[in-house]
Amino acid sequence: MLQPTGSGRLESAKFGSTRTGVRNGRAYPAFHEGVDIAATMRDRKGVATDPVYAAAAGRVAFINSAAGNSSYGKYVVIEHPDPSLGSIKLRDGSSVPATVYTLYAHLADIRFLVRPGHAVEAGDVIGTMGATSNTQPPIPRDRSHLHWEIGVMLNARFETMAREQKLVPDFGNYNGGNLFGLDALDFYAAHARDPELTMAGYLAQLRPACEVVLRGKYPDYFRRYPALWRGAAHDGGPIHLAMSESGAVISGRNATATEVALLGNQRQAVSKVYEDVLGRNGRAYVAQTGGKWQFTEKGRQWANILFY
């Protein structure tokens, strides 16, 4: 079922701090935000022909049909309504369910009718498995696979920020810096054990990688995932967040007086770290300096996106 990298290590196909990359001749820890699913069907030339299906009913939110624009190659993002995460209030006074996203990457092709705004049902074919990417060296044909993610969006205003900063290519809200994956295999294993388990229930039982305190306005994140906010409504002061290793926000609440004191004059502070969960990727957001855990530059960028 799983397609490992060239290392041959099955672990490298899974979610998490499972890989090592090379940059300028030096190895660095690489985080894998999805699961890589191997091809099971090939034509006479050895080209993968597996159809790729929508995991659940939803709406096509984004497609990238230019393989050279992304390390994900040709990919599709689908948003799925999930009432367990709460309801989003719209300007006209109505409300719609919160959504989680699924992402389907390295596609050889995307079906003609799969376009943003297009409704899909579970099992609808959205494309064909492939090996498209802009990485060098390219993904070899014999390792064609589907990179599949399930996750949450950090800020629905990211698109505006991206255009202000003239990010290229312009993927809008569906830039990888705004999408934070969850462990899909772990979620489905938990759901198999408890078919009544919701995404909100799954996130509630996840152990965080770290807990942080931040000063800023009420994040758009909790407007879109209101069920992840705990306790009293935001009082306008600093907030306390629990983060996963990938950078996904698991929960938030008003900071206590002790946590506010921890901030001092800073905009961000690290309240607690769970090193057995933090992993190598979590250390990209917070790192220990002089015996004290602090936000890294990447962590500060993450906070800037959250509060934009």
Where exactly are the structural domains of the chain? Answer: 10-190, 207-307
The token duo for 121 is 């049902």
CA distance 173 to 150: 15
What pLDDT, on a 0 to 100 scale, did the predictor assign at position 29?
62
Nearest of 14, 15, 82, 76 to residue 51 by alpha carbon: 76
Which positions ≥6 away from 13 have C-beta within 8 Å?
2, 3, 4, 5, 32, 35, 36, 38, 145
Do 174 and 24 meet the contact criterion of CB atoms below 8 Å apart?
no
What pLDDT, on a 0 to 100 scale, did the predictor assign at position 229?
98
Nearest of 297, 269, 299 to residue 282 by alpha carbon: 299
Do 161 and 45 meet the contact criterion of CB atoms below 8 Å apart?
no
pTM (predicted TM-score): 0.92
* pLDDT by 10s per residue, the chain, length 308: 999 887 877 778 888 777 666 666 665 667 788 999 999 999 999 999 999 999 999 999 999 999 999 999 999 999 999 999 999 999 999 999 999 999 999 999 999 989 999 999 999 999 999 999 999 999 999 999 999 999 999 999 999 999 999 988 889 999 999 999 999 999 999 999 999 999 999 999 999 999 999 999 999 999 999 999 999 999 999 999 999 999 999 999 999 999 999 999 999 999 999 999 997 777 889 999 999 999 999 999 999 999 99
CB environment 115-137: b (16+ within 10 A), e (fewer): eeebebeeebebbbbbbbbeeee
Nearest of 38, 33, 60 to residue 125 by alpha carbon: 60
Pick the CATH number of 10-190 from 2.70.70.10, 2.40.50.100, 2.30.40.10, 3.30.420.40: 2.70.70.10
What pLDDT, on a 0 to 100 scale, did the predictor assign at position 23?
62
